[in-house]
Structure 1
Amino acid sequence: MTDHIIFIHGVNTRETGVTPTYADDLIKQLYRKNEALDNPLDLNMIPLYWGDVGKEDEAALLQSYQRSPLWKKMNFTGIRSNQLLQFTGDLALYISRFDGIKVIERLRLQAIAGLQQQGGTGPRPGDRLHLVTHSMGTIILFDALFSARWDPAKTSDYQGVEQIREAIFGLGAQPGQGLPLCSIHTLGSPISIFSLIMIKNGNGIMESMPNTHDITPRLQQMLAALYTILGRKLSWRNYIHPDDPVAYPLEDLLYSMIDPQQLLLDINDILTQEPGLLDPLLNTQLVGEVAEIALFGGNAHNSYWTNELVASAIFETLHQTSQLDDQNAPMQQPPDLTA
């Protein structure tokens, strides 16, 4: 059995060359840990790359800014031209239907190519899928897998998202087919902020979402199907660097939003390093302006790819998953989510 690990980066990631390199350090650490096992796992690493999809559109927008007579009189033009434009531009372009489809299609083709590396035959019965998503990459992947805005009735002739969903157990029209998703690892993820779109009538933030962005029904459907076939909860690890202003806790939010009975998910927030002695100073108003600049220029947000604790936690989950598959018999019925 093969463990297929798909990696997806966040916004403001620009690389040159055909093969993406942003996850190389993490992948090397995972391979080293695997080689130390008496019975190594069969690992298939699949890093996806979408960072240059909106490059031309963002360049055209920057040129329009630079034509303004005020541009040279503005402060922080370097940050505005690079980190800020790419950070917010990537997000804005993905939200648009046109560029969103370009991103999805890029990821779909790369995932297909990666999954077929195993002798050219694609995934085999018993194979497992794991997701390692960074920053905005989490939002993109969850939007593609679970959001109602990509349902066939809303996407006209484009069926790429449906093809992705058909490949994952519990998401397609044939719920008993596809690769089972066995673990999720979110690195520096802002996905909790997107729960704000669930607010309705001021009566609580967990009542419902707009139909076009609702991820909860399909996510619950997949989790119930996974529990039925695997007889265990889905492992979800959320990694947070204390200096990363984009990373937020997920544990309480996801339980209340998706799994209030804690039947389907095993969620843990993991701090990748302990706060420093001077960290309380970072929460004062005095350094607020500096912190805003550090949001786009600091190293904390990209540190997960080289962090030993992150690599160890991911590999431990991979190893435990393989052991649990050998021990647990599948259940006959999913738990009742409405009880």
Structure 2
Amino acid sequence: MATDYVLFVHGVKQRQPEEFNRTVQELLQNVQRSIGSNGRTIKPIVVFWGDLNVQPQASLRQGLEASPQWRNLWLADFRIKEVVEFAGDAALYLSRHVGAQVVQRFQQIALPILQGAQSGGGDRLHIVTHSLGSVILFDLLFATRWDDPSLDKDASTRQTRQTVTQLRNTLFGLGQEPGRGIHISSVHTLGSPIALFSLLSVTGDSTHDLTKDLRAMLQTLYHQRGKKALPWYNYLHPGDPIAYPLQGLMPRLMGNAQLYVHLRDVITEHRGLPITWGRLPLLWGGDAHSGYWKSNTVVKTLAEVLR
């Protein structure tokens, strides 16, 4: 029986793996109920990395609160619970040490499953990423910084680079044998800040540039799919300050690769709730940034793709 693998990568503010696993299972149960029986098996691949940042951020918080002026700052609680967690998670991933640990999680959890997929037997891969998880996965799959041969000079960075290469080799259209590997059949980015991180390469060549390998993969997939564009759904809650649209950025992010992908920005809520600075922390911590996993729009769209 052919299998639909669904790769889940969480974003910021996730610190408990058991909680995230339950969230994923609930989402897939709702999706399965919507699909019914279609003769395919759905197999989740859940990559959890949030626990790697607990200790470093606790140390940072202790140092901030030790400052004699900390209590005089406005919105101190918001700074710690929202700004520090988002910026801190991003900074820690870009660091060599924690970034390597995140790569190890992909090696331990995702790599064995993807290597066992039947690339020519009808198996498919669907990518579902939330928040900073979108940036992390796209960085691992497409950023040129992992192609730097200087990483081989140190044993630990060499191992990290080899793992990234192995991960890319499991996907059709990527790696050293682009004609082999499991096909990506859909991409779902929930509350994604990819648009913001595109600024890393705005001035020209950058080791964080995604364009080259992403374009190559999309082009290869496009022809393999009978000249059908890859569906990519970018979900946005109107009150989520980290979710940004991508459709208007496609020419800048991918050049002519936009011909090979059908990207749609999808609004998940239409309640017209007015946003004020006072309400922003409430929205962020509740419905806006974490509510995608329970969104009927996400369930319906994912079910349609898997069906």
> TM-score, structure 1 length as denominator?
0.80
Residues 172-251 of structure 1 aligned to structure 2 (within 5 Å): 172-200=175-203, 208-210=204-206, 212-231=207-226, 232-251=228-247
User: Shift in Å at residue 228 of structure 1?
Assistant: 2.4
Structure 1: give runs of 5+ residues left out of the alignment.
Answer: 117-121, 201-207, 320-339
2:8 corresponds in structure 1 to 7
Superposed CA deviations along residues 100-138 of structure 1, whole A, max 9, x for unmatched, are 11112112211135547xxxxx21132111100111100
Moved more, 146-155 or 69-78: 69-78
2:171 corresponds in structure 1 to 168
* 8 Å CA contact 2:7, 2:47 repeated in 1: yes
* 8 Å CA contact 1:130, 1:182 repeated in 2: yes
Tell me which amino acid in the other structure corresponds to 1:178.
Answer: G
**Within 2, Cα distance between the matches of 1:22 and 1:104?**
23
1:26 aligns with 2:27: yes
Cα 1:297/1:262, change in 2 over 3 Å: closer
Larger Cα-atom Rg: 1
Moved more, 187-196 or 1-10: 187-196
2:111 corresponds in structure 1 to 112
Superposed CA deviations along residues 211-258 of structure 1, whole A, max 9, x for unmatched, are x11110100111111122222211111111111121111112124432
Q: Which consecutive segments of 4 or more residues in structure 1 shift more than 6 A?
A: none
**What fraction of aligned residue pairs are identical, expressed as a percent?**
39
* 8 Å CA contact 1:245, 1:295 repeated in 2: no
**Within 1, Cα distance between the matches of 2:150 and 2:31?**
39
1:310 corresponds in structure 2 to 298
**Within 2, Cα distance between the matches of 1:241 and 1:263?**
26
Tell me which amino acid in the other structure corresponds to 1:216.
Answer: T
Tell me which amino acid in the other structure corresponds to 2:61.
Answer: L
Residues 1-339 of structure 1 aligned to structure 2 (within 5 Å): 1-15=2-16, 17=18, 20-34=21-35, 36-37=36-37, 39-115=38-114, 122-124=116-118, 125=120, 126-156=122-152, 157-158=158-159, 159-200=162-203, 208-210=204-206, 212-231=207-226, 232-260=228-256, 262-276=258-272, 279=273, 281-282=274-275, 287=276, 289-294=277-282, 296-319=284-307
* 8 Å CA contact 2:239, 2:284 repeated in 1: no
Q: Which has the higher helix share?
A: 2
Cα 1:215/1:61, change in 2 over 3 Å: same
User: Shift in Å at residue 317 of structure 1?
Assistant: 1.4
**Within 2, Cα distance between the matches of 1:233 and 1:170?**
14
* 8 Å CA contact 2:132, 2:192 repeated in 1: yes
Tell me which amino acid in the other structure corresponds to 1:250.
Answer: L
Number of residue-to-residue matches in the alignment = 296
Q: CA RMSD in A?
A: 2.2
**Within 2, Cα distance between the matches of 1:50 and 1:215?**
22
Tell me which amino acid in the other structure corresponds to 2:10.
Answer: H
Tell me which amino acid in the other structure corresponds to 2:192.
Answer: S
* 8 Å CA contact 1:220, 1:258 repeated in 2: yes
Structure 2: give runs of 5+ residues left out of the alignment.
Answer: 153-157
1:322 corresponds in structure 2 to none
**Within 1, Cα distance between the matches of 2:211 and 2:258?**
15
**Within 2, Cα distance between the matches of 1:138 and 1:292?**
22
User: Shift in Å at residue 67 of structure 1?
Assistant: 2.8
Cα 1:19/1:260, change in 2 over 3 Å: closer
User: Shift in Å at residue 7 of structure 1?
Assistant: 0.7
* 8 Å CA contact 1:152, 1:162 repeated in 2: no
Moved more, 161-170 or 106-115: 106-115
User: Shift in Å at residue 298 of structure 1?
Assistant: 3.8
**Within 2, Cα distance between the matches of 1:72 and 1:253?**
40
Cα 1:18/1:29, change in 2 over 3 Å: closer
* 8 Å CA contact 1:5, 1:44 repeated in 2: yes
Tell me which amino acid in the other structure corresponds to 1:180.
Answer: H
2:155 corresponds in structure 1 to none
